Structure 1
Amino acid sequence: MVEDWARINKKVPRLVRVLPIGPVNYPTASAFLAGGVPEVMLHLRKLGLLHEDVLTVTGETLGANLDWWEKSERRKKCRERLVEIDGVNPDEDVIEIIVDTNKLEGSINFIGTENNKLSYEEAAKVLEAREPNPRLRPDEDLPDDTRLWAALQSISGGTWGGCVYDVDKIIEVIEAGKKALY
């Protein structure tokens, strides 16, 4: 059993691990919309690393479940939301999901398209240049305390800054705003 794990680990040295707010700027929701575990399993199947004939809790084989997922309406909707929310087209844009199983850290990266692979720096510039989805906006029903928390968090470096307050930065921005307004 350990030998199987070691053999497969050498062929696929990185697996997916995400956290509620990351790591490295990509929340769990992005991994879900990219297809989550079933999508990773489709890639593992293409590499010939799965026993597709094993039965699953659905009573179907793993292969049958992956066939279903690949053609499912749910997958289609997830992929559509990925385009809407993140501006990433899963059929054109290439998303790389990396986790170093030794360090247990990783990332989800846009790395270009099937015909045009980009460096991380080039991909970041492409994403930066894309217009955000016009429907992306705060929920109108957010309570005031949530709106205040979001504003303070934004000033402090945002979600990717660790969701912590940078009191000095907040005071600096408030003072600059006071000077500009008064």
Structure 2
Amino acid sequence: TARDILTDKAIENAMVIHAAFGGSTNLLLHLPAIAHAAGCHIPDVRDWSRINKEVPRLVSVLPIGPVNYPTVFAFMAGGVPEVMLHLRRLGLLHEDALTVTGATLGENLDWWEHSERRAILRKRLEEVDGLSPDEVIFTPDEARRRGIGSTVTFPTGNIAPEGSVVKSTAIDPSVIDADKVFRHTGKVKTFTSEKAAIAALKEHGRIVAGDIMIVMGGGPKGTGMEETYQLTSALKHLPFGKHVSLITDARFSGVSTGACFGHVGPEALAGGPIGKLRDGDVVEIVVDTEKLEGSLNFIGTEEEPLSYEEGARVLASRSMQEGVEPDADLPDDTRLWAALQEVSGGTWRGNVYDVERILA
């Protein structure tokens, strides 16, 4: 049955493969929801962080490279099973996990390694595109030699006590210090919608290098957890965009780049600290792109600096910023879903309905 296949081992295998590909941060919603439906352990920010620290990134495709090959090249180079061959040699996969073929993952990989299909695909990439498959899917040793880091970091702190996510490899290298740590401390400019933030970017001089943009109210209860690609795309193409950080309780497109921190939990409309920040507050961002560790902390104001603990207490004492409210066009069924998923654990539990929690 499906429950024989959807197991804790299968869920962890999926997380490992996601890390090796440097995949979309949207999996942070999908996989916990699948785990919940299957009755498996629901991965939290600690699980995601652990796996991304353990697993090397092996694939060189859009949008984070190091060479931005089209993703079809990864398919031709062998795709997911080819990456898994490398991961199994590192001992990072549960090879005894049952798959939909009726065989175990290890048995499937044994077949793939010597299959005619694998040979045809890889040969075609070389003959048609003149590209070695090993230039698209690296061995772990080659990835290490080229200095390719893992993709995703999961910062916490007094702004994001449940967690957040950033594609640390997508932060412009020129703003990362020599010790491979991204540091940005600055005043925040707050917005209660992506639309308002976009309008600010269009207004000359409203957003400048060094600013930290806070977009609150973009989580499930605010917008149904919209994808804020317009904002990240705009920052990418502005000459000063790499010097602006973005923190939001909304989510991002898989092709977003820059110092953009999403999935901040709890969301503003669930009482999260992000909804209590004010214009002029000072926020400290730290992301170690090598150790995959990071933090998002409110540290007071220029006139009154605070420790992380003091900052947490101040945020807890504040009311939510005026104007943070559900989008007026949010359908009733989405509002109902948002309320039920909040009771069920919110964003970091996959935005699901947990009947036991709802009825408790």
TM-score when scaled to structure 2?
0.26
TM-score when scaled to structure 1?
0.47
